[in-house]
Structure 1
Amino acid sequence: MSLRCWLACLLFLTTVAGAEPLSYPRDIQPIFTAKCVACHACYDSPCQLNLGSAEGALRGGHKLPVYNGTRTRAQEPTRLFLDAEDEAAWRRKGFHSVLDAQGSQAALMARMLELGRSQPLTPNARLPAGLDIGIGRENSCPRPDEFDGYARKNAHAGMPFAVTGLSDEEYARLQRWLEQGAPVERQALQPSVAEAAQITEWERLLNTPGARGKLVGRWLYEHLFIAHLYFEDVAGGHFYQLVRSRTPSGEPVDVIATRRPNDDPGTRFHYRLRPIPDVIVHKTHITYPLSPAKLARTKALFFGGDWRVDAVPGYGAGHRANPFMTFQAIPAAARYQFMLDNAEYFVRTFIRGPVCRGQIATDVIRDNFWVFFQDPQHDLYVTDQRFREQTTPLLAMPGQLDDLGELLGFWNIYRTKRNRYEQLRMQAYATEPAQWRHIWAGNDNALLTIFRQHDSASVRRGLIGEIPQTLWWMDYPLLERTYYQLVVNFDVFGNVSHQGQTRLYFDLIRNGAELNFLRLLPAASRQAILDGWYEKSGQLKLLLAYTAIDSATPSLLELGRADPKQAFARQLLSRHADINAAPDPLNRCPGSHCYRADQPPELQRAEQALSRLTNRLAAGLPAIRSLPEATLLRVEHGDGQRQIYSLLRNRAHSNVAFMYGESLRWQPRLDTLTVYPGILSSYPNFIFDLPAAEVPAFVAALEQVKEGGDVEPIVERWGVRRSHPRFWDYFNDLTRYLEETEPREAGVLDMNRYENL
C-alpha cells in the first residue's frame, strides 16, 4: 500500500475513533451501491456474490456459476431472499463468507480490496494486455484459504475488478468496518399507511375464496410474480414482489420457495405482497403499476362476467406445458386484455427479463424490430369458441422434462403440434382478410421497439429508429406462449436439455409472429419478403421446420406494390401517431431539420450532427464496426446540464433461425446505428463525454474512421475508459439521469459488459 494511502487511512481512523460505530445501511451499503453493485447483482454476479443488500453480503460467494449452458443436470436454485433464510442455511448450500476473519488472516473482502489497491490502473489507459474482462470468463472464486495462490496468479484481479478503485475514504471505511467484524444491521422495509391500505385490498382480491377466485388468483400470480409492483398514486413508495406465503394477510410473510412459480407449493398458501429489500438494479427492474383504478379494472375483467369453474386444476408438467388448458375456464378475452393493458411489461419480462444473461433467447431475434398486437375483437382464439377448443391442445410447450436423450424427440413432438396449429390458424383466417382495425391501438403500450445487444435486450414504448427489417404482430396465443416459455417455465438453473428446448420453441414463436405480420401485406409479396428474412441456411429451416406461408388470402390494406413493408410502416406511424412515442427525427428525419424542435439551440446543432450517423450501413461508415453494441454519449450543455444519447449498433444477419453459428450468419457490412435520446440499455459498453459544441467534431471524427485503429484518438479525446479517474462519477451519473428523467424505471446499470476500448 502506498504511503499516501496509509496516511489517508490513519487520518480517517483518527478522525472517527471517537465517533459512533459504523452503520451498515448508512456507511457501507452506499459504497457497495456506488462501486460494487454494477457487477455484483443478479444471477451473473461473479462468484454469486450479490452486494445489493445486507443479506447478500452475509451470504458470501460460491464457486458454481448460475449460468452454464452445458450442464447435464439441473442445479440447485440459490435465489437470494427465497431459497434460504439465514447465513447458516447458505453455508449448508456451499456459500463461503467474504466478511469473516480467518484467524490471523483478514476477511476475504479485505484482502480482495487490498489486492485491487496494490495494482492501480494507469489513468484512462487501456487495461493490461491479457486481462480477461469478458462475461464469459471463468471466475476462480477462491475461498479464504485459497486466496494467497489466487493473488499470485491474478495480480490484477483485485476488487473493484479492472476498473478505477475506491476513494481513500471509502477504502478506509470498508477496512475499518471489516476489522470491527463487519457488523450488519438488517432494516425491514415498512409500507406507508397509503401503501398498506392498498396492499390489503390487493391481497383480498388475490385470495378471493371459491374455485373461481382460486383460479384467477393463480393466473394473476403467474403473470405478476416477476414484477416490481408499485402504487402509482403514492409518491416515494416502495417496490413490492408478489409471493406465495404460508401465512395470511396481516402476519409476517413466510415465503414458499418452488423452482418455478407454477410448481405445486405443497401446502396451503396465501398470495402476499412483500417489499423488495435490495438495491434496485435496472436489468431486473420490470415495473408494474397498481392503483385503485387498476384494482377495479382487474375485478371487472375477471369477475364481471358469468363464467364458472367446475374444478380447480392441479399442478405438474402437463399444466405447466399448456396454460391455455389449465386456465381455459377464465374467459380468453379477460386474459388477453389484462396482458394488453400493460403489454410493455409483459414483453419486457421475456425480452429484458431477470435472467441477466439471455443469449439462450436473444440469439433467435433480430437486433432491432417493432412489435404490435392483434385486437382482441379480431383474434379468433378469443372470439371463436370452436377454433379455441380445436387448437388449445396444440398450444402445449416443451421444457418441462429435461431428459438429455429426448431433446430432439421433444422438439419433434412440439414442433409438430405447433405446425398443426399454424395450419389450422391459416385456414381459419383465410376468411378474415387483415384490415387496419385488426391492429390493437388501445393505449401507448400498443407499439413497442426491441433492441438486442448480443445476449441482452431492451424494450421501449413507441416505434423507435429507422423502419426495421422485421416486425412482429402478436396475438393472444403468441403473447401468452412467449411469456410462459421464457419467463414462467424457464429455469435459469436448468440443464442443457431444458435450455435447448426453450430456445428451439421460441424460434417457432418468432416465426409465428413474423407470419402473422405478413398477413397484413399483399399476398403476392409475402414469400419474397419471408425469403429475405431467411437467407442462405435459413432456407433450409423454412423447408424443414416451419409451415408454408399463406400466399392466397388477400390483405385489405392499401399498400402498393413497390415496397409494401415500408408503406405499411409509414402508415402505421401516421395512423397511430397519437399513441406512439415522440417523433424520432434523428433516425427518421422528415426533411433537413433532423433534431427535436423543443431542445435548446446547442442541442439542436448536436442532434443535427448525430443524425448523420443514422440510416447508413457500416460498409459506408466503417466506424460502426469499431463501436460496441451499446454506447452512451454524455453531452454537456447549458449551465451544468447534460443529455444522454444511446448509440446502438444493430447487427445484420442473413437469418436468426439456428441455435449455434451466429457469427457465420452475421453480415457486419450491413450493420447500422440507432441514435436516440435517453438510456436504452441496462448494459452500457462504453461512455463518451463531451460538450455539446464538440459533437459535430466527434461525428466528423467517426466519419473519418477507416479501420479499427482510427478510433483510438476519438477514445483518447472523449472516451471514459474503465481506468478513467472519474469513471464512477460518469457511470453513477447514468443512474442519476434515470432518476431525473424516468424515476420509476431508474436503477443501477450493469458494467459487466463495459469494454476495453
Structure 2
Amino acid sequence: MFYRVVISSVLLLLSCAAIAQGPAPTISYTRDIQPIFTEKCVACHACYDAACQLNLGSGEGAARGATKTPVYDGQRSKASPPTRLFYDAFGKTAWQRKDFYSVLDAQGSQAALMARMLELGHKTPLQPNARLPDEIVLGLNRENMCPMPGEFDGYADAHPKEGMPLAVTGLTDQQYQTLQRWLASGAPIDEQGLVPSAQEALQIVQWENLLNAPGARQSLVGRWLFEHWFLAHLYFKNGEPGHFFQWVRSRTPPGQPIDLIATRRPNDDPGTQVYYRLWPVQGVIVHKTHITFGLSAAKLARIKTLFYSGNWQVNALPGYGPERRANPFDTFQAIPAQARYQFMLDNAEYFVRTFIRGPVCRGQIATDVIRDNFWAMFQAPEHDLYITDPAYRGKATPLLATPGQNDDVGSVLTLWHDYRDKRNEYEALRRDTYAEAPAPSWSTLWAGNDNALLSIFRHFDSASVNKGLIGDVPQTIWLFDYPLLERTYYQLAVNFDVFGNVSHQAQTRLYFDLIRNGAEQNFLRLMPADSRAGYLDDWYQSSGKVKMWLDYESIDNDKPTALKLDEKDPKRDFANQLLVRYGDLNARPDPINRCDGAYCSRPNIDPALQDAEQALSRLTSRPAAGLNVIDQLPEATMLRIETQSGKREIYSLLRNRAHSNVAFLLGESLRYQPGLDTLTLYPGVLSSYPNFIFNIPAEQVPEFVARMENAKDADHFEKIVDRWGIRRSHPQFWQYFHDLTEYIRETEPVEAGVLDMNRYENL
C-alpha cells in the first residue's frame, strides 16, 4: 500500500507541474529512455548474466522482461531451452510463453515492477564514496531474487537498500522522473531496427552472393565460413560508425526478408535449404559480446584466392548430426587444409577471442583451465605436417573428434575416457611423426601479420586477448598448429552450448584441459630436449603430477631443437630473441613490464605520463611476497591518470594469480600460490569487466606507488582507496566508469562498447 501511495503522489505532482507549465512533451523510448538505460542499467543488464535475464540494451529486451530461470546453472541435469534475444523468440507474448514476465506493465492499481524497483532505489541513496553495507551481496555470489510483480512488497521489506540501480550511484532526479512518466503512460516503445546504409547494402549483396553461390564446392565453403563467423560482429570498410552485422541462416534467399532458422548450435541440422544472410546487430553494443571482424574488398579477394584458386572438388556434401559436429576435420576434409588454416591465421586474434574471451559472459568452467597470463603463437603452415603430409593427415583426422555432443549425465566418465584416449593416441602420433621431421627453428613460427603474437589474461571467470606480447615473460607459452586451433574453436565456440546441462559442460571443460596441455607440449618442442621435463614439472606441480600420469601423453624428451638458446634459462632467452626477431609484428611494445634499462616508459608521450609510467613500473613483475598489496587487489583494476594539461590515460593493472597447476575441474583455490602472484600494468582497457577504478592526478602517481609498496594490510590499502578510489557510491561514478568506454572509442573505435560492472568490487 505504501508504494501505491508514493507512486500516486509522484504522478499527482507531475500532473500539477504539467498544468502549471503546459503539456509535457511526449516521451520517446528511442530519444529519452534508451539513453538512460544505456548510461545507468546496461552495465549490469546485458548478455546471459543479466540479473533475471532482464536485458535493457534494446526495446525488445525491455519488453521481454525478466524470468526466474538463470542461464548459468552448472548443476542442471537437462539442457535448458535457449533464450537468446533477437533469436529464440520475438515480442512480449512469445517471451511470456517462455516464462518471462513484464517489468513494464502496471498490475491493476499497482505501478509497474520497474517503477517500484526504481522508487525503492531512489529513496535510499548511498553515502557518497563510502563502502557499501556488507549485507548487500554483490558479484557472482549474489543470489538474484527476481521477484514477480506480486512478490515485490516482500522483496522490499527484506531488502530495503536493494532497489535499482543496485548498489551504485543512481538516477538523477530528471532521469528518475522521465522513467516514471514513461512507465505511468504505459511504457510505449517506438524503437526502430538498425537499417544498413546504401553503401553497406551493396556490400551485403556481395558477401551474401559469395556464401550462397551455387555449386557443391561453393556450398561447402559457405557452410565452413558461416560456422567460423557466426559469433562475429562484422563491419564494413567505410561503413557507418556503430553499424555491425552478423551471419544467420535463413529459409529465404538474398533479396527477400530473412526467415531465421534458430537452431541451438550453428552447425545443427537446419531441416531445410539454407541461405546465409547478414542482418544488423540490434541494441546497445556491449564490450563483452563484441568480437569484431572487418569485411572489405581486400578480404573478399583473399577469401576467393584461398578457397577457389585450386582445382579441388566436392564429391558429396556432408550432412548434419553429432558426428559431423564432433569432427570438423572430417566434415570439411574436401576443403584444402592449407586454406582453412591460413584463413584462421590471417584472423588469429578474432578466433582466439571467440573461445578465450566469450561471448558467454561467465566462463569459469573454461577459464579455470588456463593460467592467468600467457602468450600464444602459431605454427607456420609450411611446417605443419597436417597441412603438408596427406598420409599423416589421414591418420590424424579420425582422432581429432571432440566431446560434448552426447549430454547423457550417466555417460560422462565413459565419454571422457573415450575422447581422452583418442586425443592421446593423436598426441603420440604427432610426437612420433614430428620426431622424423626437421628440428624446429625460427621458421617454424608463423609471422604473416600482427596476429602472429597474442597475449591472454585471465580474470578469474573471464579473459581477454590482445595482439602483441604484453607483460613479463609468462610461466607458459602456447603454440597452436592447425589441428589444435580448429579443435579449440569448435569445442569452445561452435559446439559449446551455454544452455547445456552438467554433462555437456563437464565434457567441454575436461577436454579443454587436454587442449591446453597440447599447446604447451607443442611449445616445449622449441626448448632444448633436456629442459622440457623440468618445465613440465614446474607447470604441473603437486597434484598436477597425478594428472600427468593419469591423462596426458608423454612428451618428446629426445628430439633436439634447432634454436640456439641459453641453457641457464632457455624460455626467457627464447622470449627475448622472439621480441627482437619479430619486433615489427609485436603490436604491443612493453617497456613498463619488461624494462631493460633506466627508462621504463613509452617514448613520445606526454612527459607527465612518462614520469607516471616510470613510477608505476615499480609495481610490475614483483611477486606478492615482496609486494603485499597484491593480495588486496582484484583481478582487473583500472588506473585513470590525469595530467595538469587535461590529458588522461587509462591503464589496466592486472593481477596474475599463480597456481601450482590448472589441471583439475574443482578446488582451484587449493592450488593458489599467492606469494607468487604478480601485477601487469599496460595502457588500455584490457578487460570487459573492470573490478575497480583509481583516479590519480599524474603528479600524485609517485605517492600512490609508494603507498602501494608500503601497504602491508587491508587497513593500509583502505586508506589508498579512500584517497584515490572511485567506489560504486562515488557521486561521479558513472562519469568515470563510462570514460573507460570513451577511451576505447578514442583509441580503438571499432572495439568500443559498454563495459560490464557486475564484477565491480566493494573495496
TM-score w.r.t. length of structure 1:
0.98
CA positional deviation for 1:134: 2.0
Residue deviations 1:121-159 (CA, integer Å, cap 9, x gap): 111111112211021321110111111111111112210
Corresponding residue for residue 3 of structure 2: none
For the 8 Å contact 2:235–2:292, the answer to whether it is kept is yes
Corresponding residue for residue 467 of structure 2: 461
Among 501, 504, 511, the alignment partner of 2:507 is: 501
Query: 2:139 is paired with a residue of what secondary structure?
Result: coil
CA positional deviation for 1:16: 7.6
Tell me, in whole angstroms, the C-alpha distance in 1 between the residues paired with 2:164 and 2:253: 43
Corresponding residue for residue 185 of structure 1: 190
Corresponding residue for residue 416 of structure 1: 421
Among 263, 268, 272, the alignment partner of 1:258 is: 263
Question: Which has the larger displacement, 11-20 or 329-338?
Answer: 11-20
For the 8 Å contact 1:321–1:397, the answer to whether it is kept is yes
Residue deviations 1:283-305 (CA, integer Å, cap 9, x gap): 00000010011011111111111
Tell me, in whole angstroms, the C-alpha distance in 2 between the residues paired with 1:233 and 1:523: 51
For the 8 Å contact 1:284–1:354, the answer to whether it is kept is yes
Residue deviations 1:648-693 (CA, integer Å, cap 9, x gap): 0000000000000100000011000001011000000000012111
Tell me, in whole angstroms, the C-alpha distance in 2 between the residues paired with 1:552 and 1:61: 59
* 2:627 is equivalent to residue 611 of structure 1: no
Provide the identity percentage: 66
For the 8 Å contact 1:12–1:169, the answer to whether it is kept is no
Tell me, in whole angstroms, the C-alpha distance in 2 between the residues paired with 1:322 and 1:723: 51
Tell me, in whole angstroms, the C-alpha distance in 1 between the residues paired with 2:569 and 2:17: 69
> What letter corresponds to residue 398 of structure 1 in structure 2?
P
Corresponding residue for residue 171 of structure 2: 166
* 2:508 is equivalent to residue 512 of structure 1: no
* 2:633 is equivalent to residue 627 of structure 1: yes
For the 8 Å contact 1:9–1:168, the answer to whether it is kept is no
Corresponding residue for residue 481 of structure 1: 487
Query: 2:317 is paired with a residue of what secondary structure?
Result: coil
Tell me, in whole angstroms, the C-alpha distance in 2 between the residues paired with 1:5 and 1:639: 45
Tell me, in whole angstroms, the C-alpha distance in 1 between the residues paired with 2:374 and 2:17: 53
Residue deviations 1:212-232 (CA, integer Å, cap 9, x gap): 111111100000000000012
For the 8 Å contact 2:638–2:693, the answer to whether it is kept is yes
Residue deviations 1:519-546 (CA, integer Å, cap 9, x gap): 0010011001111000000000111100
Tell me, in whole angstroms, the C-alpha distance in 2 between the residues paired with 1:377 and 1:690: 50
Residue deviations 1:197-243 (CA, integer Å, cap 9, x gap): 11000000000111111111110000000000001233526100100
Q: What does residue range 136-175 of structure 1 map to in structure 2 within 5 Å? A: 136-175=141-180
Among 648, 656, 659, the alignment partner of 2:654 is: 648
CA positional deviation for 1:19: 4.2
Corresponding residue for residue 209 of structure 1: 214
> What letter corresponds to residue 299 of structure 2 in structure 1?
K
Tell me, in whole angstroms, the C-alpha distance in 1 between the residues paired with 2:697 and 2:237: 36
For the 8 Å contact 2:52–2:69, the answer to whether it is kept is yes
Among 82, 94, 104, the alignment partner of 1:77 is: 82
* 2:252 is equivalent to residue 241 of structure 1: no
Among 274, 280, 284, the alignment partner of 1:275 is: 280
Among 667, 673, 682, the alignment partner of 2:688 is: 682
Tell me, in whole angstroms, the C-alpha distance in 2 between the residues paired with 1:534 and 1:303: 45
Tell me, in whole angstroms, the C-alpha distance in 2 between the residues paired with 1:615 and 1:80: 43
CA positional deviation for 1:455: 0.3
Give the ranges of 4+ consecutive aligned residues of structure 1 lying more than 3 Å apart after TM superposition: 4-17
For the 8 Å contact 2:197–2:240, the answer to whether it is kept is no
Q: Which runs of 5+ in 2 are unaligned?
A: 1-5
Corresponding residue for residue 542 of structure 2: 536
Tell me, in whole angstroms, the C-alpha distance in 2 between the residues paired with 1:526 and 1:13: 77
Among 306, 317, 324, the alignment partner of 1:312 is: 317
Tell me, in whole angstroms, the C-alpha distance in 1 between the residues paired with 2:14 and 2:592: 50
Tell me, in whole angstroms, the C-alpha distance in 2 between the residues paired with 1:370 and 1:427: 26
Query: 2:376 is paired with a residue of what secondary structure?
Result: strand
For the 8 Å contact 1:195–1:237, the answer to whether it is kept is no
Count of paired positions: 757
For the 8 Å contact 2:292–2:751, the answer to whether it is kept is yes
* 2:663 is equivalent to residue 657 of structure 1: yes
> What letter corresponds to residue 320 of structure 1 in structure 2?
R
Tell me, in whole angstroms, the C-alpha distance in 2 between the residues paired with 1:630 and 1:339: 29
Query: 1:735 is paired with a residue of what secondary structure?
Result: helix
For the 8 Å contact 1:586–1:594, the answer to whether it is kept is yes
Tell me, in whole angstroms, the C-alpha distance in 2 between the residues paired with 1:292 and 1:488: 27
Tell me, in whole angstroms, the C-alpha distance in 1 between the residues paired with 2:707 and 2:591: 22
Residue deviations 1:69-109 (CA, integer Å, cap 9, x gap): 11111000000000002211101010000000001000000
> What letter corresponds to residue 264 of structure 2 in structure 1?
R
Corresponding residue for residue 362 of structure 2: 357
> What letter corresponds to residue 326 of structure 2 in structure 1?
A
* 2:328 is equivalent to residue 323 of structure 1: yes
For the 8 Å contact 1:114–1:158, the answer to whether it is kept is yes
Query: 1:619 is paired with a residue of what secondary structure?
Result: helix
* 2:752 is equivalent to residue 746 of structure 1: yes
Tell me, in whole angstroms, the C-alpha distance in 1 between the residues paired with 2:18 and 2:137: 36
Tell me, in whole angstroms, the C-alpha distance in 1 between the residues paired with 2:589 and 2:13: 52
Q: What does residue range 512-591 of structure 1 map to in structure 2 within 5 Å? A: 512-591=518-597
